[in-house]
Structure formats: structure tokens, C-alpha cells
Amino acid sequence: MIERIETKQRMSRIVKHNGTIYLCGQVCADATQDITHQTQTVLDKVDELLVKAGSDRHHMLSATIYIKEMTDFAAMNAVWDAWVPEGVAPARACVQASMAREALLVEISVVAAEITKD
């Protein structure tokens, strides 16, 4: 069974299938801020969506990070590294990409496992 949460015409924010959770790409609400702030607010949104879907950052399987400028790579990684729990880093890709809005500096998409209740 496929479960879609917060579905609109273009996309669902969360899709669940066979114990796997897929989050759509997350961007910050305030794009006037720097990469550090944008990354932290995106990860805060990821936390909220994972909990809503029945998971958490300890159960991430993979993450794809889209960054506007590679000059921001180290600053973004500093926030990411502090956020990811030790020993459970997901498979990850990070690519430079054009953003949907000029002021956006980072977008993150996550796949996670649903927490099972034994």
C-alpha cells in the first residue's frame, strides 16, 4: 500500500511504501539567510516530517543534498555533521544545482525507514 501525506497537485511532502519513507525536497522558509541558517531550518523541517511519518534521523537511509554554490559546501557540512547522529550516517550525495528560487542555497531530500513497533 502507498500512503501519501500532505498531497497537492504537484507532489506529496511524504510518501510511505513498504516501511520506507520518502520526503520531497525541503527548502528553508526564509531564503534571505545564509547557508548555515538555511541548512539548519531545512534539517528542522526534515526532523518534523520524519516524526510525522513515523521515523527519525536515526533511521535515515539516504539523503540527496542540492547546493547552489560549492563555496558553501564546508559551512553546509558543518551543520549537517552536527545534525546526523554518530554512527548512523545515511548514504549521501551532494551536487551543485540551480535552485527553483534565486535566494535558495540548499535543498535536501531524504529517504528513511519507518520505525517498527515490535
Q: What is the mean pLDDT of the chain?
A: 96
The class that CATH gives domain 2-113 is alpha beta
pLDDT score, position 118 = 65
pLDDT tens digit sequence for 41-67:
999 999 999 999 999 999 999 999 999
Q: What is the mean pLDDT of residues 79-83?
A: 98
SS3 category, 31: coil
Q: Parse the chain into domains and list their residue ranges.
A: 2-113
Rounded Cα distance, 105 and 6, in Å: 24
